[in-house]
Amino acid sequence: MDFEQIDVTGCRAVGAITDIGHVGPKHHGIIIGRHASDNQVYIAENMHTGYQLATYDDFYDRYSINGEIKIFENDGKYDSVSVARRALSEILVGGKGAYNLITNNCESFANRAMKDHSVSNQIINTAIGVAAIAGIYWVVKNSK
């Protein structure tokens, strides 16, 4: 595939999944670049339907209804072109296994491309929040 590097190649595109916006769950993808044949910007994604390349327009149509699409600079250990290549390479080989909300989600995919570790801060923060609420509930219930 023939992609041209653009100023946001290797950056993370993030769209809100629900109408509560970016305070709720988010979808992550890696911007690959502009394709030479159709002049479209492409994003690599891991979705519940599988690994795919989508145009930025498609990504925008899916997520902008819930808020702005945010673009975050590459904050990983690889340069931006390498991040895009790593994401595209994973897409082309079919990924690192089936989509799993806990262990292999869209954020895990983006973090593998940028940082070489498959972690989802959304899942970690949700688990911490649930544990804190359960702990507070237990304390309140047992203090009576």
Whether 138 maps to a domain, the answer reads: no
Residue 141 lies in a domain: no
1 pLDDT more than 80: no
Assess if residue 21 is contained within a domain.
yes
| 31-42 mean pLDDT | 96
Q: What range does the domain containing 73 cover?
A: 3-119
More confident call, 8 vs 22: 8
The total number of structural domains in the chain stands at: 1
pTM of the predicted model as reported, rounded to 2 decimal places? 0.84
Is 19 within the bounds of a domain?
yes
Residue 132 lies in a domain: no
Residue pLDDT, tens place only, 77-89: 999 999 999 999 9
Long-range contacts of 57-66 (CB under 8 A, 24+ apart): 59/13, 59/15, 59/29, 60/15, 62/15, 62/27, 63/15, 63/16, 63/17, 63/27, 64/15, 65/19, 66/15, 66/16, 66/17, 66/18, 66/19, 66/20, 66/21
Is residue 65 predicted with pLDDT exceeding 70? yes
